[in-house]
Amino acid sequence: MSVQIGPVMIDVEGAELTDEDRELLRHPQVGGLIFFARNYRDRPQLEALIKDIRSVRPEILLAVDQEGGRVQRFRESFTRIPSMQALSARADTQQLKDVGWLLAAELLAVGVDFSFAPVLDADDDFCRIVGDRSFAQDPLVLAQKARPFMAGMHEAGMATTGKHFPGHGQVLEDSHEELPVDQRTLDAVLASDCVPFTECIAAGELQAVMPAHIRFANVDENPVGFSRFWLQEILRKRLGFDGVIFSDDLTMEGAGAAGGYAERIRAAMQAGCDMGVVCNNRQGALEVLEALEGFEPDPRSSERLARMRGRAAIDSWSTLESNSRWQSTREWLASWM
């Protein structure tokens, strides 16, 4: 019988677990943990922290934002990954695959299950939150660049997460600070920003999706992550997606449209999210967990979440260092970065 995975992803305070962290990790609704730069001093420390976390909750899913470029939480000892914009400008298909493999292989070697990657938002130049995190400006080109990168991640044994559905590229506002509003019609969004998601889902290359904290005013009154229309009618039914839906961070200002933390997690679950992400706000995490007391998640959510567990082909850093693919990809990246 499979172990039930709780519907909330939290974070911890520092490089070692505190007693409060341990108590929080034991909460039955906690099923995931996301790492930040503050949780990382060096690789041995991270491996010790992961071992400690798994001694408390063996089944927990461990995640990080390790996209490359300006969003790379683990840096010292890990390979420096370029932004996807810089990578896609230089890399051929095999090199894109190799960098995706390297990124995933390094995380899996230390015990992290997955990275919230890749970004599938098209970059429309003026969007400050996406910018060089995007593979390309043209959605079809973006899909062509992202697919080999994701294939490399799969070869290493890591599930992929596309963000931020259905596309964050055509709004000026940063959803960390406010709720962006996009005035385009559904057809316009589906024909442009949503194309990379449509293409990658159809190809069976996405195991998870993270919706944007954006309100498409001419489509639905609710922001995407709280919208049954976007998550059920469009993502699940129209696009045929059967993977995990992670909320974007529920502590972001863009999530405030749903109300307080209790209202945010309930709205995310009711819309169809499999797991709510709550980080960098311990009080907010406590309020979310209190709001879910007695909550019985859909068994299908736990089944989907179980697919996010890392299946490392290389399960130690020493083995990774002797791998010729790792060595040659690092050398290629170092030659131009």
Closest CA relative to residue 81, chosen from 100, 62, 97: 100
Q: How many CB atoms lie within 10 A of CB 110?
A: 22
What phi and psi values does residue 288 have, to the nearest 5 degrees? Answer: -65, -45
DSSP 246: B
- CA 241-7-252 angle, to 5 degrees, is 85
Q: Which of 52, 138, 176, 242 is catalytic?
A: 176
145 three-state secondary structure = helix
Q: Which of 21, 65, 193, 248 does the annotation list as catalytic?
A: 248
Report how far residue 310's alpha carbon sits from residue 292's, in angstroms, rounded to the nearest whole number. 27
DSSP 189: H
Q: How far apart are CA 223 and CA 102, in angstroms?
A: 34
CB 198 within 8 A of CB 165: no
Tokens describing residue 42? 């060096």
Please, is 59 exposed, middle or buried when counting C-beta atoms within 10 Å of its C-beta (0-12, 13-18, 19+)? Answer: middle
Residue 143: how many other CB atoms lie within 10 Å: 22
* Residue type at position 325: R
Peptide bond connecting 166 to the previous residue in cis, omega within 30 degrees of 0: yes
Nearest CA-CA partner of 39 in 75, 7, 67, 83: 75
Q: CA–CA separation, 246 vs 177, rounded Å?
A: 20
176 is catalytic: yes
How far apart, in whole angstroms, are the C-alpha atoms of residue 151 and residue 147? 6
Distance CA 19, CA 23 (A): 6
> Which is nearest to 53 in space by CA: 39, 41, 67?
39
Answer yes or no: 125 catalytic: no
* Three-state secondary-structure class, residue 211: strand
List the catalytic residues. 176, 248
